Amino acid sequence: MRELTYLEAVREAMSQEMRANEDVFILGEDIGVYGGAFGVTRGMIEEFGPERIRNTPISEAAISGTAIGAALTGMRPILELQFSDFITIAMDNMVNQAAKLRYMYGGEGKVPMVLRTPAGSGTGAAAQHSQSLEAWMTHVPGLKVVQPSTAYDAKGLLKAAIDDDNPVVFYEHKLCYRTKSDVPEEVYSIPLGKADIKREGSDLTIVATALMVHKSLEAAVELAKEGISVEVVDPRTLVPLDEETIIKSVKKTGRLIVAHEAVKRGGFGGEIASIIAESEAFDYLDAPIKRLGGKAVPIPYNPELEKAAIPQVNDIIEAVKETLKGV
């Protein structure tokens, strides 16, 4: 099987869906000849033309409003925001319109749109271009939230998101764009709400999202050299969330760490910890649940400070050892 980068997998998923369905189109800033802020749509305008790869003015409110209106008329727009931080400008449209219209119309209207956007730190893009705000979106009924960590998952999940009749926010971590994995050339779909066990283990479960999946896997390799067996669970979608797989893993290992890049305070890790505390898995815990998240600071521009603001591999290794000691 051939390898693709995460970026190429996202592009391939969109291209295949656009070839199969003329109602699918993309809109966003500089997505035409320039190919988008990270080059995800590069080359697509040559195949699909400016009517379906639509450059927009610099207005996230206008872009999201246009996408919602198009979706209501039966189109299936894919909206690209250059940085996930800019979702704050589209917040009213996403929270008060896209998320609620199907409910308010009694199911008569649908909003089948995907908001794709790069998130996370690690590129030196500083405080206004490096945040992880996915927990905000998970709080809003009516929105689905996806966070793929691999190229294979990105392609399959994006097809599922485009096919979905509800608004989906699709977070792509910037540092995942250049990572590679085996990706089938044919069209395939990964159901939203199905987690993936990225590594089997028996001593402790790490539930990790996006880039933290890769860091957790790296930590697991190092810990295995010391005889510590770590299971890494990637939810892949936060809404809907595959609670069953997470609960089953914690019942098996008896210990849980949640790792995400977003600020720990108010982050999605608290939701996962609460799910375990309210489930039968709580009786299987041999140590307190530990959360690893970003520090409550704006992401710094300085590369060393930027690294210090979010969990690194050594932080995960240390947290695992502390949890195994029952600290």
**DSSP 3-state of 3:** strand
Mean pLDDT to the nearest integer, 11-17 = 98
Which is catalytic among the residues 129, 173, 214, 260?
Answer: 129
Cβ atoms of residues 125 and 38 within 8 Å: no
For residue 185, is pLDDT > 80? yes
Cβ atoms of residues 60 and 90 within 8 Å: yes
Mean pLDDT to the nearest integer, 49-60 = 97
Segment 234-282, tens digit of pLDDT: 999 999 999 999 999 999 999 999 999 999 999 999 999 999 999 999 9
Cβ atoms of residues 253 and 203 within 8 Å: yes
Local confidence band at 72 (pLDDT 50, 70, 90 cut-offs):
very high
For the chain, what is the radius of gyration of the CA atoms? 20
Local confidence band at 120 (pLDDT 50, 70, 90 cut-offs):
very high
Residue 114: which of 146, 153, 150 has the closest Cα?
A: 146
Three-point CA angle 85, 50, 38, nearest 5°: 35
For residue 16, is pLDDT > 80? yes
Q: Where are the beta strands (DSSP E) in 105-255?
A: 114-119, 144-146, 168-173, 180-182, 196-199, 204-208, 230-234, 237-239
Mean pLDDT to the nearest integer, 62-73 = 97
Decide: residue 182, CB within 10 A, 0-12 exposed, 13-18 middle, 19+ buried: exposed
For residue 291, is pLDDT > 90? yes
Annotation marks residue 139 as catalytic: no
